[in-house]
Amino acid sequence: QQPGRGLSAAVGALCRALPPRARPAPDTLRRARFDRPQASLDFWRLLYALLKQIHGGKWTESDAIDNQIRFVKSALWYHGYGRPELYRLPSDGSAGSRELLLAFSWLLHRVSLLEQLLARNRVKTGDETSVCTCEDALPNSQKSTTEMAPEYALGDRIDVRYLQWLNGRLRFQWRSLHAQHQEQCKLLHKIHLFTSGSHMDQILGHFSATETDLVRQPENYKQLLRLLDSETMQLEAYLEWKQLEPVYWQWMETVLDNMAEEGNMCKSQDAHIEKSGLSKATSCCPWADGLTGQIDRLSRDLMTLHDQLHKLVTHRKAAWCEKV
């Protein structure tokens, strides 16, 4: 009972540490552990919402499920998830909840999923801006792009005019981004200048853009307090999750063990069916003995060839990795 309570606490803390709009019920993870089809759609939507937030995209719950599944598969492939069983799942979300649980756990470990989500969804009360050095590098970058574009043209396979159009479009968007960054810095400087000496913190000395907006519209304080309370609850759940995280990974080891046992059972059943079919054939047909002997020899030859090809591929991959 004690490990069960620890697992429930770990799963609950994990769910509470996720963003509110993409927060699953703890029962969803438990149903996925037994590969229940009822949890498949919930897991596809969960992964879709989380991966959209990581990649900075906009998402709505009204998106078609096949589009969500297609995006999740492409995003997992981009991050390097190589389990082929996931990419064979149907596009209607009718099965595969345990495979999705494995993919979700892989994201937790591989890409620091919770940390990225907490950083992206942090409530910003102060002013932050990056240091921009684009103005100094503008002439050199323009010169390099205009000179390098014809050199990397691929002859008749790609039209050079299309590459020039892409180059011009990229430069235009880069200039627009640079202008917007400068405008943001100017506006922040005006706010800091006009509110200088008004802040209780004498070291800071001025209001941020959020604080200035709250002074002008005090009714927004309630919304800010709700956001801060939600973020505090997420951080507390994250701290609890870090303490109970080993319990979760022990549970995932049992999930993997069960999957391996089911895979071995399926293989043994298939082998039993094949053997029973061959025995029936030999009992019915006297000429089947020679045929089964030939099949066994071919099977051994195929296994030997498979091992040789596997060794060759491993050697080639190691050679390519050394060259890279």
Listing DSSP states for 168-186 in one string gives HHHHHHHHHHHHHHHHHHH
- pTM of the prediction? 0.61
**Domain co-membership, 114 together with 187:** no
User: Which residue has 């596997």 as its token pair?
Assistant: 310
Q: Is residue 286 part of a domain?
A: no
Q: Are residues 249 and 182 in the same domain?
A: no
* 59, part of any domain: yes
Asked whether residue 38 falls in the same domain as residue 117, the answer is yes
Is 315 contained in some domain?
no
In the chain the beta strands, taken as DSSP E runs, fall at none
294: Cβ–Cβ under 8 A, 6 or more apart, which residues?
A: none
87 & 19 share domain: yes
The reply to whether 152 falls in a domain is no
Residue range 52-77: average pLDDT? 83
The burial of 195, by beta-carbon neighbours within 10 Å (0-12 exposed, 13-18 middle, 19 or more buried), is given as: middle
**72 and 52 in contact (C-beta within 8 Å)?**
no
Which structure tokens are listed for 94? Answer: 């009718």
Q: Based on the domain organization, do 51 and 180 belong to the same domain?
A: no
Q: Which conformational region is residue 35 in: left (phi greater than 0), alpha (psi within -120 to 50 degrees), or beta?
A: left
Domain count across the chain: 2
In a domain? residue 304: no
Q: Are residues 46 and 177 in the same domain?
A: no
Is 21 a residue whose pLDDT tops 70? yes
Same domain, 26 and 78: yes
* Residues 118 and 235 placed together within one structural domain of the fold: yes
Same domain for 103 and 53: yes
Give the pLDDT of residue 146: 41
Lowest average pLDDT, out of 2-11, 156-165, 199-208, 231-240, goes to 199-208
> Does any domain span residue 70?
yes
pLDDT over threshold 60, residue 267 = no
Which residues constitute the domain of residue 80?
3-122+228-261
The CA distance from 189 to 202, in Å, is 18
Residue 287 belongs to some domain of the structure: no
So what's the pLDDT on residue 196?
81
Q: Which of 207, 239, 269 is the last residue of a domain?
A: 207
Q: What span, in angstroms and rounded, lies between the C-alpha atoms of 1 and 14?
A: 20
* Spacing of C-alpha 192 from chain mean position: 38
- Identify whether residues 168 and 202 lie together within a single domain: yes
Residue 321 counted as domain residue: no
Residue 282 has pLDDT above 50, yes or no: no
- Do 177 and 248 share a domain, yes or no? no
Q: Cα Rg for the chain, rounded, in angstroms?
A: 29
249 and 103 assigned to the same domain: yes
